[in-house]
Amino acid sequence: MNLIHILPSLLAADVGALAEGCRRAEAAGADEIHLDIMDGHFVPNLSFGPEVVAMAHRTVKLPCNVHLMLDQPHLYVARFMDAGATTLYVHVEPAYDIRATLAVIRKRGVRCGLTLNPETPASAVVPFLGEVDEVLCMTVHPGYGGQSFMAEVLPSIAAVRRAANATGNTGLTLMVDGGINLETAVACAAHGANAFVAGTYLYRMADMAAGIRELRAATGAAFCETP
Ligand code: DX5
Ligand code: ZN
């Protein structure tokens, strides 16, 4: 597996042509496609359901990276795995049995990840670092694309990477999502992130393939394994 992962976020594609948005990401050399699932409770917006994940799964060969922004993710993980999720992210903030939910995901052979909102301390994921394949640090408040990157999250990204290294999870995929462009991705890579979700930045490009190549090269050069 490549060290650096670039994930276009389908939320920024033309909603009337989501299949085309998936094909465009694949043709441009993306590593995975990122799908945002919102429930109108955990975040103040609604987006895709399992049918959109199923559409992406049958449209492209790219892994489907599914970001559940749900108050009760444990009630829905099975439906998203049935739909073809390759990686399933749940948030650490809501009240549900996180450990049991991660175990259900892993038992199906699906990669599992925990997500932190910008204000949530890195320490919230530390007890789970032995049970996750990935951690996602939100670099905006989740709910909408097109927001500005929050640089105050950078120390948390480094703290998660250091904690993962200390607990022996050195292969942890550490992802960032929100306001990612060339400059902010490089800053995140220097703090230990190796996976980059970008919606507005990549989908607005005339040449997404060139954008992905540039992001991959710059973040690969900036990546710090021990921030
Ligand atoms: C925000 C979503 C993001 C969103 C990112 O709640 O989790 O995945 O699509 O969009 P940009 O890259 O435009 O900030
Ligand atoms: Zn997302």
Q: What tens digit of pLDDT does each residue of 21-71 get?
A: 999 999 999 999 999 999 999 999 999 999 999 999 999 999 999 999 999
Going by pLDDT thresholds of 50, 70 and 90, the confidence category of residue 2 is: low
Summarised one tens digit per residue, pLDDT across range 140-160 is 999 999 999 999 999 999 999
Q: Which atom of ligand 1 is nearest to the CA of 179?
A: 14
Interatomic CA distance for residues 222 and 187, integer angstroms:
8
Q: Output the residue whose Cα is nearest ligand 1's atom 1.
A: 142
Q: Does the pLDDT value for residue 1 go beyond 90?
A: no
Question: Is the pTM value of this prediction over 0.95?
Answer: yes
In this structure, the residues whose C-beta lies within 6 A of any atom of ligand 1 are: 9, 11-12, 34, 36, 67, 140, 142-147, 177-180, 197-201
Catalytic residue numbers, as ranges: 36, 177
Q: In what order do the strands lie in the sheet with 173-177?
A: 5-8, 195-198, 173-177, 134-138, 111-116, 87-91, 64-69, 33-38
